[in-house]
Structure 1
Amino acid sequence: MTTMTRDETPVVVSNEAGVEVRSRPIGGDLAVSYIRLPAGTDMSIPLKGLPDDQCQCPHWGFLTKGRMKLHTGHGDEIYEAGQAYYWAPGHAPEALEDSELMEFSPADDFAKVLDHVKEQVG
């Protein structure tokens, strides 16, 4: 059995605005991620350049704090703290409030998205 806490998970993306993504593989083909997005963070900006300028990795997760708007090709959806979710490929999240998420994603697919985001944020 593999376990990990947020603090044991390495930071893979961070910036001075307070965005923090901690992620590492768990259980083979999955990655677990702990994500903090301050209010006003619009991930559509660092996702530009990916297909449809959106994240193409699916995520299963739980919003532990805050409120998020998910921009998709089918319209926008709102998520609030306490909700579990599935985000299909083709999305760009925006934090409406300071938000914290815990996600499970295909490790290889998410690594590609993270590499792209890191290039965009320098």
Structure 2
Amino acid sequence: MTSTTWDETPVTFTGGGVEIRTQQLGGDMSVLYMRASEGADLSPRLKGLEDDMCQCPHWGCITKGRIALRTAQGEETYETGQTFYWPPGHAPRAVEDSEFFVFSPVEALERTMSHVTAEEAA
């Protein structure tokens, strides 16, 4: 597959005010769409990963709202219309109802999502 939309992309996680959809696009890249309600925090789902943070790099765009990103260096906020690169070592929290999409390496994203979904079942 070389293209997709929110509606075409399978849901891979829901919980805690977050919906995540992921799809491999071809080659070694996947797309992840995330919709998060104000206050939704992925930190609890990331516990157990290195530094209790996502270790997958992401390149993307905020399409709605504001996301606060916790890193070892502190916290940064990203707003509607901003494009970004998030290196490994981050944990996102929705400051307000938010949506974004990212492109990520398939294997790194699959490792992270396996952890997130395993934590959901625990």
- TM-score (norm. length: structure 1): 0.95
The equivalent residue for 1:6 is 6
Q: Which amino acid aligns with 2:3?
A: T
Q: Which amino acid aligns with 1:12?
A: T
The equivalent residue for 1:104 is 103
The equivalent residue for 2:91 is 92
What percent identity do the matched residue pairs reach? 52
Aligned 1:8-23 pairs, distance under 5 A: 8-15=8-15, 17-23=16-22
Q: Which amino acid aligns with 1:97?
A: E
8 Å CA contact 2:17, 2:36 repeated in 1: yes
CA distance in structure 2 between the aligned counterparts of 1:7 and 1:79, rounded to whole angstroms: 24
Structure 1 runs (4+) deviating above 3 angstroms are: none
CA distance in structure 1 between the aligned counterparts of 2:4 and 2:103, rounded to whole angstroms: 13
CA distance in structure 2 between the aligned counterparts of 1:51 and 1:94, rounded to whole angstroms: 18
Q: Secondary structure at the match of 2:8?
A: coil
The C-alpha deviation readout for 1:6-51, integer Å capped at 9, x for no partner, is: 1111001012x44111101112100011111111111111100000
Instruction: Report the CA distance between 1:54 and its aligned residue.
Output: 0.3
Aligned residues: 121
Aligned 1:40-55 pairs, distance under 5 A: 40-55=39-54
CA distance in structure 2 between the aligned counterparts of 1:79 and 1:65, rounded to whole angstroms: 10
Instruction: Report the CA distance between 1:72 and its aligned residue.
Output: 0.2
The C-alpha deviation readout for 1:68-116, integer Å capped at 9, x for no partner, is: 1100001110100110010000000010001101110001100110010
- TM-score (norm. length: structure 2): 0.95
The equivalent residue for 1:79 is 78
Query: Please, what is the CA RMSD of the aligned residues?
Result: 1.1
The equivalent residue for 2:115 is 116
Instruction: Report the CA distance between 1:119 and its aligned residue.
Output: 1.2
2:37 pairs with 1:38: yes
CA distance in structure 1 between the aligned counterparts of 2:91 and 2:3, rounded to whole angstroms: 29
